[in-house]
C-alpha cells in the first residue's frame, strides 16, 4: 500500500523540486538513485544510510533518524524501493541535520 502523501509532504517535495531539477517523479517507487537525487547526495551516501539503519535494527537499537525499512523489493529481492511519501516524510521529520551526532568534542583550553 502506498504511503499517504499529505499536503505538507507535497509542499516539501515541490519546494525541493523548485531548486533541484533532478528530483524524481512522485508517481513511481524510488530506489537508492532516486533517493540520492531527491536528497542531493551521492548514491553511496544513501547506501551508507541504509547499511547503518539495518545494522541498528539488527542490533535492536534503532535510531530515530535511521532510513526507514524499504516499502518493497524489486524482483527476487534484488533491490529495495520506497514510496516517495516515505522518504519525503523521513527527510522532513526524522532525518538528522548536518553536523548531528558527532565528531570529536572541541578542545577546551
Would the pLDDT of 45 be above 80?
A: yes
pTM of the predicted structure, to 2 decimals:
0.78
Least confident of 2-11, 58-67, 73-82: 2-11
What's the mean pLDDT when you consider all of the chain? 85
Would the pLDDT of 35 be above 50?
A: yes
Number of domains within the chain: 1
- Mean pLDDT across 25-45: 92
Query: Is residue 103 very low, low, confident or very high in pLDDT (cuts 50, 70, 90)?
Result: low
Question: Does residue 99 belong to any structural domain of this protein?
Answer: no
Domain extent for 66: 7-94
Question: Does residue 85 belong to any structural domain of this protein?
Answer: yes
| Residue 1 C-alpha from the chain's centroid | 18
Residue 85 near residue 1, CB atoms below 8 Å: no
The cell numbers describing 96, all together, are 538528522
Would the pLDDT of 106 be above 60?
A: yes
Amino acid at each position: 500500500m502506498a504511503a499517504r502523501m499529505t499536503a505538507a509532504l507535497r509542499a516539501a517535495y515541490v519546494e525541493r523540486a523548485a531548486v533541484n531539477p533532478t528530483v524524481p517523479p512522485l508517481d513511481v517507487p524510488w530506489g537508492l538513485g532516486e533517493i540520492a537525487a531527491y536528497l542531493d547526495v551521492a548514491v553511496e551516501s544513501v547506501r551508507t544510510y541504509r547499511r547503518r539503519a539495518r545494522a541498528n535494527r539488527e542490533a535492536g537499537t534503532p535510531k530515530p533518524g535511521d532510513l526507514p525499512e524499504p516499502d518493497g523489493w524489486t524482483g527476487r529481492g534484488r533491490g529495495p524501493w520506497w514510496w516517495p511519501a516515505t522518504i519525503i516524510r523521513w527527510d522532513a521529520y526524522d532525518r538528522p541535520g548536518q553536523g548531528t551526532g558527532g565528531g570529536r568534542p572541541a578542545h577546551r583550553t
